């Protein structure tokens, strides 16, 4: 499965490269597909490429959905106290 995640551009390093914040982790990403990228822009990132700009509300909603999915996956994998008995 492929997954693109929201990230916030922190700094522009060159015409093709920027630093993005991905949930507290900063990574350099290719921004050559984004017209006039600026620090503070929210973008969708897939395999190191910023694919498109999105608004902050959409980014935060997507991050919340990803967090919920991760949390529900953890709960589903852990045995309950009843199952362990």
Q: Could you identify the residue written with the tokens 């700009």?
A: 53
- State the pLDDT at residue 75: 52
- State the pLDDT at residue 77: 52
In the chain, the number of structural domains is 1
8 A C-beta contact, residue 46 and residue 6: no
pLDDT tens-digit readout, 64-81: 998 898 898 665 455 444
Tell me, yes or no, whether 84 lies in a domain: no
CB atoms within 10 A of CB 21: 15
Tell me, yes or no, whether 85 lies in a domain: no
Q: Quick one: how far is CA 81 from the chain centroid?
A: 34
Q: Quick one: how far is CA 9 from the chain centroid?
A: 11
Above 70 in pLDDT, residue 10?
Answer: yes
Assign residue 18 the CATH number of its domain. 2.30.30.140
Q: pTM value?
A: 0.79
pLDDT tens-digit readout, 11-64: 999 999 999 999 899 999 999 999 999 999 999 999 999 999 999 999 999 999
Q: By residue range, what is the domain housing residue 71?
A: 5-79
Confidence of residue 85 (pLDDT cuts 50, 70, 90): very low
- State the pLDDT at residue 23: 87
């Amino acid at each position: 499965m492929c997954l693109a995640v929201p990230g916030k551009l922190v700094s522009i390093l060159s015409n093709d490269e920027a630093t993005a914040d991905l949930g507290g982790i900063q990574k350099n990403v290719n921004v050559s597909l984004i017209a006039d990228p600026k620090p503070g822009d929210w973008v969708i990132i897939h395999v190191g490429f910023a694919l498109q700009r999105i608004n902050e509300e959409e980014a935060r909603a997507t991050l919340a959905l990803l967090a919920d999915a991760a949390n529900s996956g953890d709960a589903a994998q852990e045995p309950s106290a009843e199952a362990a008995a």
